[in-house]
Amino acid sequence: MPLQIARSVLATSGLFPDFGRFHQWLTDQKRHASMEVRVVPLDELAGWHTHPVTGNIAHESGRFYSVEGLDVRIEQTFAGSWQQPILNQPEVGILGILVKEFDGVLHFLMQAKVEPGNHNGLQLSPTVQATRSNFTRVHRGARVPYLDYFRDTSRHQVLADVRQSEQGSWFHRKRNRNMVVRVEEDIELRDGFCWLTLGQLHRLLAADDLVNMDARTVLSCLPFAATGLSGVYGSTVASPFTSCLVRSCELEAAEPHTMNALLGWITEVRSGLDSHAERIPLRDVEGWRRADGRIARPDGAFFTVVGVQVSAVGREVRTWSQPMIQPCDEGVCAFLVKKADGVLQVLVQAKAEPGFVDVVELAPTVQCTPSNHDALPGGERPPYLTEVLDARPEQIRFDAVHSEEGGRFFHARNRYLVVEVAEDFDAVRPGYRWVTLAQLSALLRHSHYLNVEARSLVACLHTLSVRPRPAFESAAED
């Protein structure tokens, strides 16, 4: 299967023969699906109420999610202990991509979806992106298309099926089920959906704000790692960098002790960290204030809880209201990578976030909102941020701005970077570790190892598996 995935990575032409046709289709979708989003006071959200005692904001149905408070104490973080608002969404939803072979090449079924938090409207999402409330139809909406392929997989081949965490600073123990299911049978292609090869998706990941967070996290869980990849990719698509990257995907089974050491390191970090995160009433959260229809800190740092009112125009008109988290600024998520003995290594960070189920997950080398640190008194820059922001152009292997979940976060964007450092770069601090891509793939078969920002970056990193060839734009002339 990993070899078939590699062949799809090589394919920049598929059911869409070229970028022009894809773009035409996307423009067409934009015409059919628009959304009007207005920021409104939290007190005016229809269907949501504030609990008179706790101050928690919840939906009248008791489903969806609620805004509550969290009391946090984590050793070894710069803040130590604090309180904050947090989204509580205990349901496990499904993020699923259907895969099918056309003309010998695996294609991935993507949906053009508008979400209220997207700053640009339409983005590509997985085939299915459904909360449990969606598919038990609490909101009495339409049936979720293609859902049955993921609810009963017995006739299909499951390439990935694993619950993964989402933003641990904004969500309390949120998990979604990330699934990739391959089907053999004919599938009706509905309006708003399209089949793309991985090579095409990889080109689109290089663009800003086009492939949404849910699509990125599902793509990162694909079984990319295997021996024999170099053979499939071949030398025509190889540069020294891509050769090292592909070799990095091949190296896990061969190095059990290294994998043992990696697992042992994660165990050690998790065992040693004294942490505590308990839900408290939103009203009691210190340092935050509900005023003027929003919940914010006096200094405006971190994020604000805002209300939005949405009118979606598709085949039917739907309007609804909801609270959302609006971060104070754009963030930076970056992997430092280096070639070492012909293998690409990736520097990961063991990061504690208050919403994690299991204390610590592996995160990008740098994951922060730089302006938060600039604002703090005596605040140092986070480790390695200087290496990322001051990188020379030839060091920057990947650089695109992507949106975070547009269903919960309002205009939340991160700049995702892959920055190559010299082979002798060995300034590794405690809490950081060099790993191979195959090791990351092995960890991604299980829950709670890579956080959502690291998974997004893994998806971005795989776009570098082949040397840039004639772009998707001109693929028809290949």
Residue with tokens 């990322």: 388
Q: Using CB under 8 A, which of 50, 76, 83, 447 touches its own copies?
A: 447
Does residue 191 bind its own copies (CB under 8 A)? Answer: no
Amino acid occupying residue 390: D
Does residue 257 bind its own copies (CB under 8 A)? Answer: yes
Binding segment toward its own copies, per CB under 8 A, in 155-163, 212-220, 373-381, 419-427:
155-163
Q: Using CB under 8 A, which of 137, 155, 318, 446 touches its own copies?
A: 446
Q: Using CB under 8 A, which of 158, 207, 254, 471 touches its own copies?
A: 158
Q: Using CB under 8 A, which of 27, 61, 157, 239 touches its own copies?
A: 157
Q: Say if CB 331 and CB 301 are below 8 A apart.
A: no
Q: Say if CB 325 and CB 392 are below 8 A apart.
A: no
Q: Which 3-state string (H, E, C) describes the chain?
A: CHHHHHHHHHCCCCCCCCHHHHHHHHHHHHHHCEEEEEEECHHHCCCEEECCCCCCEEECCCCCCEEEEEEEEECCCCCCEEEEEEEECCCCEEEEEEEEEECCEEEEEEEEEECCCCCCCEEEECCEEECHHHHCCCCCCCCCCCHHHHHCCCCCEEEEEEEEECCCCCEECCEEEEEEEECCCCCCCCCCEEEEEHHHHHHHHCCCCCECHHHHHHHHCCCCCCCCHHHHHCHHHCCHHHHHHHHHHHCCCCCHHHHHHHHHHHHHHHHHCCEEEEEECHHHCCCCEEECCEEECCCCCCEEEEEEEEEEECCCEEEEEEEEEEECCCEEEEEEEEEECCEEEEEEEEEECCCCCCCEEEECCEEECHHHHHHCCCCCCCCCHHHHHCCCHHHEEEEEEEECCCCCECCCEEEEEEEECCCCCCCCCCCEEEECHHHHHHHCCCCCCECHHHHHHHHHHHCCCCCCCCCHHHHHHC
Residues 6+ apart with CB under 8 A from 477: 470
Binding segment toward its own copies, per CB under 8 A, in 35-43, 112-120, 151-159, 307-315:
151-159
Does residue 177 bind its own copies (CB under 8 A)? Answer: yes
The CB-of-470 to its own copies minimum distance in angstroms stands at 34
Binding segment toward its own copies, per CB under 8 A, in 18-26, 51-59, 250-258, 404-412:
250-258
Q: Using CB under 8 A, which of 231, 264, 281, 300 touches its own copies?
A: 264
Does residue 428 bind its own copies (CB under 8 A)? Answer: no
Q: Using CB under 8 A, which of 3, 261, 427, 428 touches its own copies?
A: 261
The CB-of-95 to its own copies minimum distance in angstroms stands at 11
Does residue 426 bind its own copies (CB under 8 A)? Answer: no
Q: Using CB under 8 A, which of 32, 73, 163, 373 touches its own copies?
A: 163
Does residue 159 bind its own copies (CB under 8 A)? Answer: yes
Q: Using CB under 8 A, which of 271, 341, 380, 392 touches its own copies?
A: 271
Residues 6+ apart with CB under 8 A from 315: 32
CB atoms within 10 A of CB 186: 7
The CB-of-301 to its own copies minimum distance in angstroms stands at 30
Structure tokens at 335: 């992997």
What would the x/- binding string for its own copies be over residues 344 to 363, using CB under 8 A?
A: -------------xx-----
Q: Which is nearer to its own copies, 1 or 15 (CB)?
A: 1
Residue 273: C-alpha distances to residues 142, 267, 269, 359 (Å): 45, 10, 6, 8
The CB-of-272 to its own copies minimum distance in angstroms stands at 8
Binding segment toward its own copies, per CB under 8 A, in 240-248, 263-271, 402-410, 425-433:
263-271
Does residue 61 bind its own copies (CB under 8 A)? Answer: no
Residue 144: C-alpha distances to residues 11, 103, 119, 130, 214 (Å): 30, 28, 24, 7, 16
Does residue 174 bind its own copies (CB under 8 A)? Answer: no
Binding segment toward its own copies, per CB under 8 A, in 16-24, 140-148, 265-273, 309-317:
265-273
What would the x/- binding string for its own copies be over residues 377 to 416, using CB under 8 A?
A: ----------------------------------------
Q: Which is nearer to its own copies, 90 or 287 (CB)?
A: 90
Does residue 260 bind its own copies (CB under 8 A)? Answer: yes
Q: Which is nearer to its own copies, 27 or 136 (CB)?
A: 136
Q: Which is nearer to its own copies, 58 or 205 (CB)?
A: 58
The CB-of-88 to its own copies minimum distance in angstroms stands at 12
# chain residues binding its own copies, by CB under 8 A: 34
Tell me which residues in 80-119 interact with its own copies (CB under 8 A).
90, 92, 94
Does residue 51 bind its own copies (CB under 8 A)? Answer: no
Binding residues for its own copies (CB under 8 A): 1, 90, 92, 94, 153, 157-163, 175, 177, 223, 253, 256-257, 260-261, 263-264, 267-268, 270-272, 276, 357-358, 445-448
